Structure 1
Amino acid sequence: MTSQDPMIRIVIVDDHPVFRIGMAALLDEIGDFQVVGLAADQAEARELVTLSRPDVVLMDLDLGGESGTETTRSILAESPGTGVLVITMFGDDEALFGALRAGARGYLVKGAEPEEIESAIRAIASGAVMLGPQVAPRAMEFLTNSRNARSGAFAELTDRERDVLELVARGHDNATIARMLVLTSKTVRNYVYAIFTKLDVNDRAALVAKARDAGVGSDSPAN
């Protein structure tokens, strides 16, 4: 680092004080990183981000019963220039895609090496996307399948209907899809009914079969 390098301002959001304090100590050892706040819940996180306008927020997904995904969406609605890096215990599809849909630009599973965390923070501060090796292949597969659906079959569907179709074809129920896409269950149900009508199918099993025949959602959801 030189005297001309800008500081990367960071807020850490996690309901475990040991993790917050330990992560802050780790990051403060890096010359151009500045931890400007620690938060344990959504209210504290929103207030800190509003006051300090950090470059990057490190976000856990389980905030003592509150949702880090919803907190991410709320923060970015008020501070769209901030980058969110999720660091969580959860590596499943629901957590991953829910966080990305909410606007997170990075996703690491807890246990990542310090060098990996540093690289991810730098990438996100510069406007890039960074996914950890535990989740990147599934994220790419999901995005590839979605692009295939958009460029090939089912051109009559809207972009959001194709998103829903992809997740239905992967075996997710409406409640799970709602969490992943940050929608209400009623909205997802309406999308599913619209897809039934446009693709001329009468039930979910027929829809899944038709989607998979077209190469959409060929893999089952991760456990």
Structure 2
Amino acid sequence: MKHPMERRRLSACMLALCALAVPSLAQPAPEAGESRPARLMVEQVCAACHGNTGQSTQKEYPSLAGQNADYLFKQLRQFKASAGEPALRQDATMAAVVQSMSETEMREVARYFSRQPPARGQAALPHLVEAGKAIYWKGNPSNRLPACVSCHRPNGEGIAPDFPRIAGQQPEYVVRQLHAWKSGTRGGPGKLMSLLVPLMTDEEIVAVAQYVAQLR
């Protein structure tokens, strides 16, 4: 049985998808180089969780503004099951969103978010920022945990297309995703993060999330 919050998220998502079938009477003109269908989908579907410009104000949902377009496209595809194969990423709400999306639409939405000004986050537990900084820059030599900076870069900008931008990200979301990698419910055997995150303690996960949240 789905949690009440999950049911509400899914219901809101399905209502928003239905709204896409009704043309808007007064939509502002898209900016130069911007896809109108992508903007409409963002405003009518994605914004409920991620904000109109990809800067989420809800701690459980990630900010997508400024994220690498190729990375976002890859993640959207992973939420969609195909040819009898289960989706690589499991989320009832995102599965409903991407089910009717073509790859072209996914690319346009990803491109839209990538062009938005990156989010400016903040640590929820500021006293853990310094501990998180140590793990991010040096890793943990005692258990051979590599430094996060190797893949996510000094300012948390990531390396396209495989390593995402994490600067300014919601710390609660980062914690949840790291635990998903650690438990094996995200990714799969052989994926880099599935090999590295199990080396982290729960305390290190929380501290790193606080550090990347306040990166600019």
- TM value normalised by structure 2: 0.32
Instruction: Select the structure with the greater relative contact order (CA < 8 A; seq sep ≥ 6).
Output: 2
Q: Which has the higher strand share?
A: 1
Higher CA-based Rg: 1
